[in-house]
Structure 1
Amino acid sequence: MSEFEPVLLTLPSLAPSLAVEILPYGLTFHRIFVQADGRTHDIVIGPEDPRGHITQRYTNTIIGRYANRVPVGTHAIERNGVKAEVVAKLNEGSRVSLHGGPVGFDSLVWNRVTSNSPPTLFTEAELVHIPSLSSTTSYGIFRLVSPSGDQGYPGELTIEVLIALVPPGEQELKYPEPGQSTAGAEWNLGSIVYVYRAKLDKGVTPVNLTQHWGFNLEASLKDGKDNLSVKNHNITMKADRIVARDADSLNTGKFINVSNATEHLHDGQKIGDKYPKLGYDDYYTFAPQTVKIPKRFPVSDFTPKLDLLKDVLTPSGAEGAARGNRSDPVVELSSDKSGLKLVFETNQDGTMFYSNAWADPVKGARKKIHGGSGIKDKGDGYVPGTAAFLEFHDMLAAFLDPANKNGNDTLLTSDELYHNYVRCDVRFKQPID
């Protein structure tokens, strides 16, 4: 299978409202198609040609082994008495190792798991929820093995990622009564779920994975060519602090309360209401909440009966369905113009919100459905402010803070399994004329 040949995941024919194209190269969400109100939207930015992701990096790809920025150099690490060293390699400026190093997981080929090569990091009980691993399905599991020493990180790390489309259940949102106008009614169109699992062969290593996906809910409209900004998108974020970073965007170990920096208080207002001069590129920590689905768990708990997927893969609004162990939503992104809304939940501590501030329209390519030519470096690429990147992961460089020792330190030992999930419910609200 070519690494640039999209793997199409679709919902059953009874719910054809949602589909995604996944590239094995970088485990990339090349397209996310949403059908609503007689229109087809592609709600993620990016190049037209799948091979464009080679140079247009970090656009809808996985990041790894470690999201965001770590200072270059040798770092001693220890968790539960297990010790090792990380040699973070330079690939930004003069001090920064970005997204796991020069050759991150975004630049590698992920292999799709098949029935001939079954997954090893998901249990029998969990696989019951996945009806097929064939090429025509709404589910896919992909695997990558990162050798010990990869980009300076110790230990061989095996990663398996489940990507799933969950159909809508019984509609729970604002049913119109017979004879009533549907204006203002809201429907659930289905959900996108990804689950990262990782296992280390020996020792200890930092792990902090995320999907670096960038959303625009209006770019596919007929007038999207002239209206690519996300400043009119509404955003809600249940976050109380942002990380204070230095001139190289490295974590200083300090926080800024959003009540003292109101441009970072996202409570349903438009992104552009208090838009910073350079746009958004900040890590937000979610306000304390009860998270019942663990980020990692002992290998001894990994038995055939373990099931951390049932609640995550339950359709929203399914009759009698409760949230179970799922987390409450932490981020909402919506457009009054298109009527589309994304509702995110996760077991991670926060999210990086990046408004595509450093985009260069002279470079790269813009999808044709977004009004671009699709041709690389033609000069009609995406401009700053044209996407809301929402990258859910744990604290920046948490393993370097002694206060996190043996706690939420983003370290993984061979006695543990890493478990990271994000669920995105896709909704449509009929615009009111």
Structure 2
Amino acid sequence: MNARGVSATILSYGATLQSVIAPDRAGKGAEITLGHSTLEPYLSKPEYFGSTVGRFANRIAQGRFMLDGVTYDTPRNNGTHALHGGVVGFDKLLWEVVEVRAGKDSGHVVLRHTSPDGDQGYPGALMVTATFSLNEANVLRIDYAARTDRPTVVNITNHAYWNLAGEGSAHGAMGHGLVIAADSYLPVDAALIPTGERRQVAGTAFDFRQPRMIGERLREAEDQQILFGRGYDHNWIVQDRVAPVLHGMARLSEPTSGRSLELWSNQPGVQFYSGNFLDGTTVGRSGRLYRQGDAVVLEPQNFPDAVNRPDFPSARLDPGQEYRNVIEFRISPGIGPE
């Protein structure tokens, strides 16, 4: 915990962001992520609460891709498609704890995992580190780095669910305000695989260039894309490629508590998922059942199915190169009426 009352808890299982606590405008701290207080539910449920997902986050069509003329098959764990790295992705593994340090201005945890050649069908041994840190400016940073001994594909992100009203509150996330700094997004088919089109957000329910209430946008929508995902489960195009510096991607705000969250990353896209498949069968740490819209996920990453789309940013990683996904959640506790 820092001096401003913001804290983060990390699990070595799944390199999971298990908890984030932040004060509201009255100074009262609350849990602002969804998750569990014990390990067992993380083992048995597939919601990816706060998990590190990889080797390839999001979907791969038919669980298949070609690299250097060789076809690779990965487990089809989402209908006929691969999702978040396969049946035993990074979220289902116990990571090695390399370092835990509390400093004057920040604290950090470094976790490490080596995914062997052929793991979940992917080529090459992949050496991955995940560094979580929190500083006195309330910046929660996740730095994913990876190297390989053979050409492979990589797309790693974090799957934290956010409810800035508080995880145990009666308010879901549909009353949150959202800004996404993107002029276009990737439409999907009925299986949530990108069609390859890049569609402008102007005049659609996907236009969050100015602050809009998430639930208001959903209620207004008469869009086949919303029906496909039972809400939002789409990638917004923020950049055309991985950037050398971090850029602002999104801002989430909750009017009652006064809390807000800015998302920054070096990645080209952000997947916005509005908690559509939370079905009331999972009990969270507060004892409440998690239902549709109780939280939202903002995942900086490469585009879904980029391994099969040469016009998307490349997901290829060669020996001698380093993959990086640097994510910053810049948390603003409530500080009075806006």
Whether TM-score is above 0.5 comes out as yes
Q: CA deviation at 1:289?
A: 9.5
Instruction: Pick the aligned partner of 1:17 from 5, 21, 25.
Output: 5
Instruction: Pick the aligned partner of 1:39 from 25, 28, 41.
Output: 28
Which segment is superposed worse, 332-341 or 45-54?
A: 45-54
The answer to whether the 8 Å contact 1:279/1:355 transfers is yes
Q: CA deviation at 1:88?
A: 1.9
Q: Aligned with 1:274: secondary structure?
A: helix
Instruction: Pick the aligned partner of 1:71 from 52, 61, 67.
Output: 61
Q: Which runs of 5+ in 1 are unaligned?
A: 1-9, 116-131, 169-189, 294-326, 374-379
Q: Is 1:410 aligned to residue 315 of structure 2? A: yes
Q: Which runs of 5+ in 2 are unaligned?
A: 222-226
What residue identity is the alignment partner of 2:29? T
Q: CA deviation at 1:74?
A: 4.4
Q: CA deviation at 1:401?
A: 1.6
Which segment is superposed worse, 412-421 or 284-293?
A: 284-293
Q: Aligned with 1:329: secondary structure?
A: strand
Instruction: Pick the aligned partner of 1:91 from 51, 71, 77.
Output: 77
- Decide whether aligned partners of structure 1 residues 290 and 50 sit closer, same or farther in structure 2, where only a CA change above 3 A counts: closer
Give the number of the structure whose alpha-carbon radius of gyration is greater.
1
Measured in 1, the distance between the counterparts of 2:251 and 2:319 equals 36
What residue identity is the alignment partner of 1:391? E
Counterpart residue number, 2:234: 282
Counterpart residue number, 1:179: none
The answer to whether the 8 Å contact 2:247/2:264 transfers is yes
Measured in 2, the distance between the counterparts of 1:43 and 1:219 equals 5
Q: Is 1:161 aligned to residue 149 of structure 2? A: no
Instruction: Pick the aligned partner of 1:343 from 262, 287, 300.
Output: 262
The answer to whether the 8 Å contact 1:340/1:428 transfers is yes
Measured in 2, the distance between the counterparts of 1:102 and 1:397 equals 17
Deviations 1:307-337 (A, max 9, x none): xxxxxxxxxxxxxxxxxxxx33221001110
Q: Is 1:194 aligned to residue 150 of structure 2? A: no
- Decide whether aligned partners of structure 1 residues 401 and 343 sit closer, same or farther in structure 2, where only a CA change above 3 A counts: same
Measured in 2, the distance between the counterparts of 1:288 and 1:198 equals 21
Counterpart residue number, 1:424: 329
Measured in 1, the distance between the counterparts of 2:242 and 2:111 equals 29
Measured in 2, the distance between the counterparts of 1:289 and 1:335 equals 31
Q: CA deviation at 1:430?
A: 2.9
- Decide whether aligned partners of structure 1 residues 70 and 356 sit closer, same or farther in structure 2, where only a CA change above 3 A counts: same
Measured in 2, the distance between the counterparts of 1:27 and 1:220 equals 21
Q: CA deviation at 1:352?
A: 0.8
- Decide whether aligned partners of structure 1 residues 334 and 17 sit closer, same or farther in structure 2, where only a CA change above 3 A counts: same
Measured in 2, the distance between the counterparts of 1:395 and 1:289 equals 10
What residue identity is the alignment partner of 2:59? R
Say how many residue pairs are matched: 325
Instruction: Pick the aligned partner of 2:152 from 179, 190, 205.
Output: 205
Measured in 2, the distance between the counterparts of 1:220 and 1:75 equals 38
Deviations 1:172-194 (A, max 9, x none): xxxxxxxxxxxxxxxxxx11001
- Decide whether aligned partners of structure 1 residues 133 and 40 sit closer, same or farther in structure 2, where only a CA change above 3 A counts: closer
The answer to whether the 8 Å contact 1:113/1:133 transfers is no
Q: Is 1:105 aligned to residue 83 of structure 2? A: no
- Decide whether aligned partners of structure 1 residues 340 and 349 sit closer, same or farther in structure 2, where only a CA change above 3 A counts: same
Measured in 2, the distance between the counterparts of 1:73 and 1:391 equals 20
The answer to whether the 8 Å contact 2:242/2:268 transfers is no
Measured in 1, the distance between the counterparts of 2:71 and 2:36 equals 37
**Structure 2 length-normalised TM:** 0.90
Instruction: Pick the aligned partner of 1:271 from 182, 207, 214.
Output: 214
What residue identity is the alignment partner of 1:351? V
Q: CA deviation at 1:73?
A: 5.0
Measured in 1, the distance between the counterparts of 2:110 and 2:160 equals 18
After TM superposition, the runs of 4+ consecutive aligned structure 1 residues lying more than 4 A away are: 287-290
Deviations 1:257-295 (A, max 9, x none): 1014234434211111221562211111115699333xx
- Decide whether aligned partners of structure 1 residues 291 and 382 sit closer, same or farther in structure 2, where only a CA change above 3 A counts: same
Deviations 1:290-311 (A, max 9, x none): 9333xxxxxxxxxxxxxxxxxx
Q: Aligned with 1:262: secondary structure?
A: coil
- Decide whether aligned partners of structure 1 residues 167 and 289 sit closer, same or farther in structure 2, where only a CA change above 3 A counts: farther
Measured in 1, the distance between the counterparts of 2:10 and 2:309 equals 35
Counterpart residue number, 2:244: 292
Sequence identity percentage:
26
What residue identity is the alignment partner of 1:285? I
Counterpart residue number, 1:261: 204
Within 5 Å, which residues of 2 pair with 1:140-159?
Answer: 140-159=109-128
What residue identity is the alignment partner of 1:69? R
Q: Aligned with 1:198: secondary structure?
A: strand
Q: CA deviation at 1:98?
A: 0.8
Counterpart residue number, 2:295: 387
Measured in 1, the distance between the counterparts of 2:207 and 2:81 equals 25
RMSD between superposed Cα atoms in Å:
2.2
Q: Is 1:249 aligned to residue 192 of structure 2? A: yes
- Decide whether aligned partners of structure 1 residues 358 and 151 sit closer, same or farther in structure 2, where only a CA change above 3 A counts: same
Q: Aligned with 1:72: secondary structure?
A: helix
Q: CA deviation at 1:367?
A: 2.1
**Structure 1 length-normalised TM:** 0.71
